[in-house]
């Protein structure tokens, strides 16, 4: 072995062990986004709508069951209620007197525009994540997004690292095998990286 080969193999080994080290720590080398909690154009509250009012997640995020993205609902979904619901309970305004936030919602809807919601969760472009397969398999939204039904403002609850994906896949497959079924959650690189 000459000096050059030693240097190259050394660099590769070092790179590989750094990568294994990083993955085993569950770190996200591109920057951990957990805790990201941006303000939205209107203070829409999941704690109120999905928590107190118990509106089903899929009532608004309909696409989660059938496609890659869960999607953000159009304002027509909000207007199903806010044609008539004008205020917070207990506010002194009359029924036909919408609160400033509902006024803003109605005007934005009537003008044909939408809100520019700030995207919170986003994987790097080289990762494939299909919502549909997970929802169809009965994986709860909360196992990846945390207790959204308690959030006034949505916050990224988990780092969504490769380590997190693989840990759950391993556990799910063990459960399937114990139940005598074929494992479905992939561990091969190409399933998540095309």
Q: How far is the CB of 22 from ligand HEC (least distance, A)?
A: 7
Q: Under the criterion CB under 6 A, does residue 166 sit at the interface with ligand HEC? A: yes
Out of 66, 143, 174, 177, point to the residue binding ligand HEC (CB under 6 A): 143
Q: Under the criterion CB under 6 A, does residue 141 sit at the interface with ligand HEC? A: yes
Which residue is it, tokens 């909690």?
37
| 115-134 positions binding ligand HEC, by CB under 6 A | 117, 119-124, 127-131, 133-134
Q: Under the criterion CB under 6 A, does residue 114 sit at the interface with ligand HEC? A: no
- 129: closest CA among 87, 93, 164? 164
Cα radius of gyration (the chain): 22
Q: Under the criterion CB under 6 A, does residue 21 sit at the interface with ligand HEC? A: no
Q: Under the criterion CB under 6 A, does residue 169 sit at the interface with ligand HEC? A: yes
Q: Under the criterion CB under 6 A, does residue 193 sit at the interface with ligand HEC? A: yes
Residue 149 and residue 157: Cα distance in Å, rounded? 12
Q: How far is the CB of 30 from ligand HEC (least distance, A)?
A: 5
Q: How far is CA 131 from the centre of its chain?
A: 9
Q: How far is the CB of 4 from ligand HEC (least distance, A)?
A: 25
Q: Under the criterion CB under 6 A, does residue 170 sit at the interface with ligand HEC? A: no
Read off φ and ψ for residue 93, nearest 5 degrees.
Answer: -75, 150
- 133: closest CA among 186, 176, 55, 180? 186
Kindly tell me which of 6 and 127 has the beta carbon lying closer to ligand HEC: 127
Q: Under the criterion CB under 6 A, does residue 60 sit at the interface with ligand HEC? A: yes
46 is written with which tokens? Answer: 């999941």
Residue 98 and residue 82: Cα distance in Å, rounded? 9
Q: Which stretch binds ligand HEC (CB under 6 A): 7-15, 106-114, 142-150?
A: 142-150
Half-sphere exposure of 134 (CA within 13 A, CB side): 19
């Amino acid at each position: 072995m000459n000096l050059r080969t030693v240097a190259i193999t050394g660099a590769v080994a070092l790179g590989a062990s750094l990568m294994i080290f990083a993955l085993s720590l569950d770190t996200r080398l591109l920057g951990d986004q957990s805790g990201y909690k941006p303000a939205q154009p209107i203070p829409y509250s999941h704690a109120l709508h999905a928590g107190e009012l118990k509106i089903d997640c899929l009532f608004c995020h309909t696409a989660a069951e059938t496609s890659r993205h869960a999607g953000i609902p159009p304002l027509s979904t909000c207007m199903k209620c806010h044609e008539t619901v004008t205020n917070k309970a207990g506010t002194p305004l009359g029924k036909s007197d919408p609160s400033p936030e509902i006024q803003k919602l109605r005007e934005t809807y009537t003008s044909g525009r939408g809100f520019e919601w700030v995207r919170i969760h986003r994987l790097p472009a080289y990762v494939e994540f299909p919502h549909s397969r997970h929802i169809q398999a009965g994986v709860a939204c909360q196992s990846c997004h945390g207790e959204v039904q308690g959030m006034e403002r949505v916050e990224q609850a988990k780092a969504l690292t490769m380590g997190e994906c693989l840990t759950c896949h391993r556990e799910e497959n063990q459960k399937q095998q114990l139940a005598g079924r074929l494992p479905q959650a992939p561990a091969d690189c190409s399933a998540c990286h095309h």
